Amino acid sequence: MTEGAVADRNIVLEVENLRTEFHLRAGPVRAVDGVSFTVQAGECVGLVGESGCGKSTTGLSIMKLLPTVGHVVGGSINLLGRDLGPLSERQMQHVRGNDVAMIFQDPMTSLNPTWTIGRQIAEAYRLHNDSTQQEAMVRAREVLELVGLPRPAERLAAYPHQLSGGLRQRVMVAMALVNSPKLLIADEPTTALDVTIQAQILDLIDNLRRDFEMAVILITHDLGVIAARADRVMVMYAGKIVEGSETEQLFGSMRHPYTEALFRSIPRFDQDRSQALFSIPGVPPDLMYPPPGCRFAPRCRNAQPRCTQEEPLLAPENPHAPRPGAGAEHTDTPTLPHAIRSGEHVYACFYPVGASSDQTTLQSEQDPSPLALGLVDADAGNGAAPPISITERQPSQLEPVTDREILLELDDIHKEFPVTAGAILQRKIGSVKAVSGVSFTVHRGETFGLVGESGCGKTTIGRLVTALDGVSSGEIRFAGQDISRFRGRALRRSRRDRQLMFQDPYASLDPRMRVGPTIKEPLNIQQVGSRGDRGKRVAELLAEVGLSPKSAGLYPHEFSGGQRQRIGLARALALNPKLIVADEPVSALDVSIQAQILNLMRSLQDSHELTYIVISHDLAVVRYLADTIGVMYLGKLVEIGPAAEVYEHPAHPYTRGLIDAVPIPDPVLEKQRETVAVRGELPSAIDPPSGCRFRTRCPVAQEVCAEIEPPLRSFGGLHRAACHFPLETPEESTDEALAPA
């Protein structure tokens, strides 16, 4: 979309100097502080930043859906030329869903579990239209077709729990579009979704805004998503916009150090695995007591004393003029520039990225770190320690993992879950074939990555390895012993060597237990050491994962998501395991926190000689961590091999589709690359397709794919894939009729 095309459009939303507070018992929290921007018809404006920066609060303020303690205390919100500030709740009910709609982050908690999909969409239509129930249901079916929901007529009678995450998100989009709003606010619409489903949802939103000239605010912490989808982007930090411009301009010439830090924290396919990921030191400020001057100064590599005394104002790029704010006294509501408009590049920084050397004197080689300057408290927040330093791995740590002894072997593993019917007799009517004939080995000290969409069997394999579930058939050998046959005391003792990091650390931690007893619990169960020894062990573990000793006396809800993940890692380390299965360890974390956790995992692997199985749908994360990668689809292992080989030369079309679905944080490359996206709906694991299970979604499938299941074939070394028509040439083909197309 050209700059001129956007600039000529009518303004749908104009937000000016918006200030939103949460009035808590301890005092007011200024969650949004002086935010100004515009959104035009057909335009997508991205809003990015870490959790707690004010992105979602900005969206909720526009919708006037703040919790009871939240209040808009200043500024104006004009939607289609109408000021929303003076409107009563009854008046806003006519605006919401009609002129502006919102897609919430978690569709499962946003949908009513006791109502059918059709009823919920029809209700949203009838609230704003004088229609019968039958007319509303017809409209519900129309919008379900519009958003590409398979079998929309059948799904009208379905309940939310009967749909996958991607389908539930499509229902949320349909509900938002049922009254054809002029503005759509999408709050983290793809955070917990697979990359393939994420691409489909974002494509859907893109197509709808172009077809209906709908304005979109896309709220996300993923700069890769922004690069591919947004026309303009605004970066928020601690309640303020710190930089904004056209997307290509921002990615091509980032000016604010915070924007640059977010960008550098993203794992990339070409990431040097010998180097730790960049992470932003410290934590965001407490907005009840924001620091004076620039709020990012305590974490900024360019910070100077001036930054802690004066607040830089947001202003357009002008290399020949001094930055606004110089010498200005700090006030509670500083005079802000007009709303960020198309074509402008604005930022709020005295010492921006790319400035001349005489303007920026504290560059990385001269600045020891914000910690050394005393700008960052090492015990900020709830005891977060400084991030792990970026150090290079030694050559011994990069040796081929295949030269080491085998620690774990999975041999033809099958796992089925019975499907029953009947309130009393519970007769078996089928089975979910979660894992079907999977075999692979993991060497000591190796990181084995399992990737694939939700429902492919990744987590089930993790639970089988850690003996939380038993196999239906096959063998799991750990350190030479068949642990799949262990029972009773032998099983409990064997679990000490294999621990699981759960996907949701908040749900897996007992909210009524303090952190100390939570970490100590495995030691108590296994009767390891004396009571004093266990207490010392808890303190050691907290220090190892970067938390202060005082964290032991706090509850899980008193920590951030990244800190809770550190607690989960500490608990997994309590018994000195040999193998840790990490199930989506960073899926819901900001990129900056994600980098800290990944660096921590790798550091602990080196110091404890750990072996990892990392389960994730984020292929960039797995590419950075993993030595070997296994790709799963509907219970089958369809490709396996060294990480670099699988990513650079994928042989299976499904692997290629997964890689192509990953957003690249570069808008120019995103527009240039050709993709082979995975489309369609994942088939049922109760009745999987015959032959190749991927054939119903495969772009190169032929008749033979429905008749014969492809075996794993070699593509050089340890690289193998199961495909009749692979993208690479196999080492040898046993059937010329099935040679690569």
Task: Give domain status of residue 383, yes or no.
Answer: no
Residue 364: pLDDT over 60: no
- Domain identity same for 621 and 536: yes
Domain boundary among 180, 201, 235: 180
Residues 408 and 497 in one domain: yes
Residue 737 has pLDDT above 70, yes or no: no
Q: Which two tokens stand for residue 90?
A: 């009854």
Please answer whether residues 348 and 238 qualify as being in contact, where contact means their C-beta atoms are separated by less than 8 angstroms: no
- Collapsing DSSP to helix, strand or coil, 582 comes out as strand
Pairing type for strands 183-187 and 100-103 reads: parallel
Residue 205's φ and ψ, nearest 5 degrees, are -65, -40
pLDDT band for 734, please (50, 70, 90 cuts): very low
- Regarding whether 209 and 120 lie in a shared domain, the answer is no
CA 630/CA 632 separation, integer angstroms: 6
Whether residues 427 and 514 share a domain: the answer is yes
Q: What is the pLDDT of residues 501-510, one digit of tens each?
A: 887 777 788 8
Question: Does 159 or 372 have the greater pLDDT score?
Answer: 159
Mean pLDDT of 420-431: 78
Residues 198 and 216 in one domain: yes
Please provide residue 517's backbone torsions phi and psi, each rounded to the nearest 5 degrees: -60, -30
pLDDT at 221: 83
Q: Residue 639 and residue 31: Cα distance in Å, rounded?
A: 46
Task: Specify if 362 maps to a domain.
Answer: no
Burial class of 87 by CB neighbour count within 10 A (0 to 12, 13 to 18, 19+)? middle
CA dihedral 220, 226, 228, 232 (to 10 degrees): 140
Closest CA to 101 of 192, 172, 191: 172
DSSP 8-state secondary structure symbol assigned to residue 387? P
Rounded to 5°, angle at Cα 201 from 452 and 689 = 45
Same domain? 430 vs 349 = no
Contact 508, 559 (CB under 8 A): no
| Residue of higher predicted confidence among 561 and 364 | 561
What is residue 319's predicted lDDT score, i.e. its pLDDT? 45
Q: Are residues 470 and 556 in the same domain?
A: yes
Give the tens place of pLDDT for each residue, 381-402: 343 444 434 344 443 344 566 6
- Render pLDDT for 290-326 as a digit per residue (tens, 0 to 9): 999 999 999 998 999 999 999 999 988 754 444 444 4
In this structure, are 672 and 590 located in the same domain?
yes
Please report whether residue 396 resides in a domain: no
Backbone angles phi, psi at 403, to 5 degrees: -80, -10
The count of domains in the chain is 3
In a domain, residue 297? The reply is no
- Higher per-residue pLDDT: 481 or 424: 481
Q: Which domain holds residue 707?
A: 401-738
Domain-embedded: residue 162? yes
- Asked if residue 392 belongs to a domain, the reply is no
Same domain, 245 and 324: yes
- 711 alpha carbon, distance to own chain's centre: 33
391 lies in a domain?
no
Tell me the pLDDT tens digit for each residue of 117-135: 999 999 989 988 888 999 9
| Confidence check: pLDDT of 375 > 70 | no
Q: How far apart are CA 355 and CA 692, in angstroms?
A: 56
Give per-residue pLDDT as tens, 73-121: 999 999 999 999 999 999 998 999 899 999 887 777 788 889 999 999 9
180, 201, 233 - which closes a domain? 180
Asked if 625 and 530 sit in the same domain, the reply is: yes
Q: Are residues 539 and 682 in the same domain?
A: yes
355 vs 205, higher pLDDT: 205
Q: Does 187 lie in the same domain as 148?
A: no
**Kindly report the CA angle at 435 between 431 and 439, in degrees rounded to 5?**
150
Asked whether the beta carbons of 176 and 133 are under 8 A apart, the reply is: no
Residues shown for the chain: 741
Give a yes or no: residue 136 inside a domain: yes
Q: Which amino acid is at 530?
A: S
The last residue of a domain, from among 298, 327, 356: 356
Query: How far is CA 602 from each of CA 277, 504, 541, 595, rounded to the nearest angstrom?
Result: 10, 20, 16, 11
The 3-state DSSP class for residue 14 equals strand
Backbone angles phi, psi at 576, to 5 degrees: 55, 55
Taking the C-alpha atoms of residue 446 and residue 442, their distance in angstroms, rounded to an integer, is 7
Q: What is the CATH number of the domain that holds 582?
A: 3.40.50.300
What gap in Å lies between CA 389 and CA 278, rounded to an integer?
Answer: 9
CB atoms within 10 A of CB 400: 11
